[in-house]
């Protein structure tokens, strides 16, 4: 058939030497999102090429739009929840905010592994739709929450839905994006997830003006129309929009579901033994597969090291650079622009880059950039180091996810990405919680062993407070992890050659 020939032209793009590339599971079924069949095959191919040049497929484009809309609302909800928690804290707003944020992190340690097993059993599109609808329902109740306990419970439920939505989305991407466009797809996903934050912040500020205008309308007196309530309403609409967009997609899932059906269709019964076995299988794969093991290690250590910049950056800017809060704002901005630059560079050069080598180099460079930034005593040079850290961090994230997409079979992706999100949460929690304590400990050691916490190198005096020592240690941890990653990947390559 003419249509089948066009479908094959679309997907046959990778050399045969790649053993883990995803191929169409049902070649007789047209790929979702392709344009209608036309009489001239050449014209149809040109039309497809124009449409998928950036996104790889129409299906991923719609999934990406859903992610953008959902992420924009999620950031709005995050800002509103933070403000609401502070207002409900009754004099201890900081503790209330910390408690609510902990409720967004803790569930992942206990529920994410089991959620991964379920995602490998269930229809992933249905999971994403249900999760979006569930999040919309929870968000709709928040304008009427008047105590911290209710806010904590709502945050727990929101996080449970997110724990299922994110891995389901990641596991679906290789099924709708050609393997040679996965790097670009992951770059776009990163932009959607984090690039929407400044837009959400601006929109949140504008909602304050809208709230003042709505507050003057007597007919709306029975509605809550303050800034946080309006943010929750918008967040609810974004989740409903995301659910609608995803519900209209036809995500290829036939091969995985057919295989599970042949194994007895465990989706229709609750078997704790089988669940434990599948959970064990997923974690075993993480440790024995050199690529998956290396990606998890690289992302984990990168988050521990780079994450420490968040709690320590303001102190570093104030005490060492003398730039105060403005300097910290410049740090965060430089980090964000660096991530964007790294993502853009990868998108442009993706077809010519050896992904494994780029991943290794990005880890080493991230550690070196962090050490460079922490070693500087002027704001301009420190910002250069932070910008480079952002470039490398973006590269590690995008290339790491791409390697997982390429090297994990569809039937395991739910468990692998759920485990990855668990590791991400753990490492961020370690960075945020351990960084300040480690800084204080190293500061006391520096004051004890060095006069005025100063050393002399090459005739120059060098100030070494705890913040600088902690950031140096974080950079060294990343470089050490890079060394382990290189060894692990080389060992895996040698093992494959022997086989």
The pLDDT of residue 212 is 77
Give the pLDDT band (50/70/90) at residue 26. Answer: very low
Q: At residue 11, does pLDDT exceed 90? A: no
The pLDDT > 90 percentage for the chain reads: 9
3-class DSSP state of 457: strand
What is the band of 246 on the pLDDT scale with cuts at 50, 70, 90?
Answer: very high
- C-alpha neighbours within 13 Å on the C-beta side of residue 267: 15
101-138 core/surface letters (b: 16 or more CB in 10 A; e: else) = bebbeebbeebbbbbbbbbbbbbbbebbbbbbbbbbeb
Residue 447 reports pLDDT greater than 70: yes
Task: Judge whether residue 41 has pLDDT over 90.
Answer: no
CB 133, CB 160: distance < 8 Å: no
Instruction: Answer left, alpha or beta for residue 91, where phi above 0 means left and psi between -120 and 50 means alpha.
Output: left
Stretch among 133-137, 286-290, 390-394, 476-480 having the lowest mean pLDDT: 286-290
Q: Reply yes or no on whether the pLDDT at 206 is more than 80.
A: yes
Q: What percent of the chain has pLDDT over 70?
A: 74
Mean pLDDT of 277-298: 75
Phi, psi of 268 (to 5 degrees): -95, 5
Q: Are 398 and 187 in contact (CB under 8 A)?
A: yes
**Does the pLDDT of residue 48 top 60, yes or no?**
no
For residue 21, the SS3 value is coil
- Position with higher pLDDT, 29 vs 195: 195
Rounded distance, CA 195 to CA 68, Å? 9
Q: Average the pLDDT over each of 42-56, 243-257, 365-379, 442-456 and give the range with the smallest value.
A: 42-56
Do 41-252 and 271-499 agree at the fold level?
A: yes
Paired with 462 in beta bridges are 455
For 448-471, write each residue's pLDDT tens digit.
Answer: 888 888 887 776 777 888 888 999
pLDDT of residue 32: 41
Q: Which residue has the tokens 């390429």?
A: 406
Quickly state the pLDDT bin for 417 (edges 50, 70, 90): confident
Higher pLDDT, 230 or 52: 230
pTM of the model as a whole: 0.69
Contact 2, 41 (CB under 8 A): yes
Determine the pLDDT at residue 16: 41
Give strand pairing partners of 463. Answer: 454
Angle between helices 413-449 and 93-105 (to 10 degrees): 140
Output 13 or 264, whichever has higher pLDDT: 264
- pLDDT for 155 equals 85
DSSP 8-state symbol, 217:
-
Summarised one tens digit per residue, pLDDT across range 88-141 is: 766 555 567 767 777 776 766 666 666 666 777 788 888 899 999 999 999 999
How is residue 280 written in tokens?
A: 């064990």
Cα 10 to Cα 429: distance, rounded to the nearest angstrom: 42
Q: How far apart are alpha carbons 212 and 208 in whole angstroms?
A: 6
- Is a pLDDT exceeding 50 seen at residue 49? no
* Average pLDDT value over all residues in the chain: 76
Q: Is there a contact between 409 and 416 (Cβ–Cβ < 8 Å)?
A: no
Identify which of 48-57, 149-158, 214-223, 422-431 has the greatest average pLDDT: 149-158
- Determine contact, residues 166/414, Cβ cutoff 8 Å: no
Q: Are 350 and 179 in contact (CB under 8 A)?
A: no
> What is the reported pLDDT for 143?
87
Domain 41-252: CATH architecture, name and number where available = Up-down Bundle (1.20)
Q: Which pLDDT does position 45 carry in this prediction?
A: 43
CB-count burial class (<10 Å; 0-12, 13-18, 19+) for 146: exposed
**Where is average pLDDT lowest: 92-101, 306-315, 383-392, 445-454?**
92-101
- What CATH fold (topology level) applies to the domain 271-499? Growth Hormone; Chain: A; (1.20.1250)
* H runs (alpha helix) in 272-320: 272-288, 290-307, 309-319
Domain-wise residue ranges, the chain: 41-252, 271-499
Is the pLDDT at 257 greater than 60, yes or no? no
* The pLDDT of residue 304 is above 80: no
Q: Which of 394, 343, 401 is nearest to 177 (CA)?
A: 401
pLDDT for residue 252 is more than 60: yes
CA distance 296 to 287: 10
SS (H, E, C) 176-216: HCCHHHHHHHHHHHHHHHHCHHHHHHHHHHHHHHHHHHHHC
pLDDT digit string (tens) for 61-78? Answer: 888 899 899 888 888 888
413 — pLDDT class (breaks 50, 70, 90): confident
């Amino acid at each position: 058939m003419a249509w089948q020939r066009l479908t094959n032209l679309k997907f046959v793009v990778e050399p045969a030497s790649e053993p883990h590339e995803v191929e169409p599971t049902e070649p007789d079924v047209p790929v979702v999102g392709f344009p209608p069949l036309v009489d001239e095959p050449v014209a149809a191919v040109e039309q497809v090429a124009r449409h998928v040049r950036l996104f790889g497929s129409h299906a991923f484009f719609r999934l990406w739009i859903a992610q953008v809309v959902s992420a924009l609302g999620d950031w709005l909800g995050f800002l509103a929840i933070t403000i609401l928690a502070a207002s409900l804290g009754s004099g201890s707003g900081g503790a209330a905010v910390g408690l609510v944020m902990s409720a967004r992190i803790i569930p992942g340690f206990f529920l994410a592994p089991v959620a991964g097993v379920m995602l490998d059993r269930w229809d992933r599109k249905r999971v994403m739709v249900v999760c979006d609808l569930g999040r919309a329902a929870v968000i709709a109740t928040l304008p009427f929450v008047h105590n911290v306990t209710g806010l904590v419970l709502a945050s727990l439920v929101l996080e449970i839905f997110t724990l299922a939505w994110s891995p389901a989305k990641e596991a679906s991407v290789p099924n709708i994006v050609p393997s040679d466009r996965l790097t670009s797809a992951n770059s776009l996903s990163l932009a959607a997830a984090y690039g929407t934050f400044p837009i959400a912040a601006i929109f949140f500020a504008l909602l304050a003006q809208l709230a003042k205008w709505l507050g003057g309308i007597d007919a709306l007196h029975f509605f809550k129309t303050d800034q946080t309530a309006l943010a929750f309403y918008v967040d609810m609409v974004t989740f409903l929009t995301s659910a609608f967009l995803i519900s209209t997609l036809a995500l290829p899932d036939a091969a995985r579901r057919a295989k599970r059906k042949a194994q007895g269709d465990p989706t229709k019964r609750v078997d704790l033994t089988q669940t434990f076995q599948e959970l064990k299988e997923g974690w075993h794969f993480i440790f024995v597969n050199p690529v998956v093991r290396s990606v998890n290690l690289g992302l984990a250590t990168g988050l521990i090291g780079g994450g420490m910049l968040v709690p320590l950056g303001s102190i570093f800017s104030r005490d060492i650079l003398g730039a105060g809060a403005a300097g910290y704002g410049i740090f965060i901005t430089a980090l964000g622009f660096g991530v964007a630059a790294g993502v853009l560079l990868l998108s442009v050069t993706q077809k010519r880059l050896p992904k494994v080598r780029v991943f290794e180099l990005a880890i080493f460079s991230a550690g070196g950039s962090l050490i460079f930034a922490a070693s500087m005593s002027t704001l301009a040079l420190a910002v250069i180091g932070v910008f480079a850290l952002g470039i490398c961090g973006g590269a590690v994230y995008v290339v790491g996810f791409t390697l997982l997409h390429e090297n994990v079979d569809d039937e395991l992706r739910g468990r692998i990405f759920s485990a990855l999100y668990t590791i991400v949460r753990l490492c961020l929690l370690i960075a945020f919680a351990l960084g300040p304590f480690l800084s204080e400990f190293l500061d006391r050691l520096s004051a004890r062993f060095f006069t005025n916490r100063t050393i002399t190198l090459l005739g120059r005096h060098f100030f070494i407070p705890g913040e600088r020592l902690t950031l140096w240690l974080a950079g060294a941890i990343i470089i050490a992890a890079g060394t382990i990653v290189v060894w692990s990947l080389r060992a895996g390559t040698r093992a494959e050659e022997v086989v």
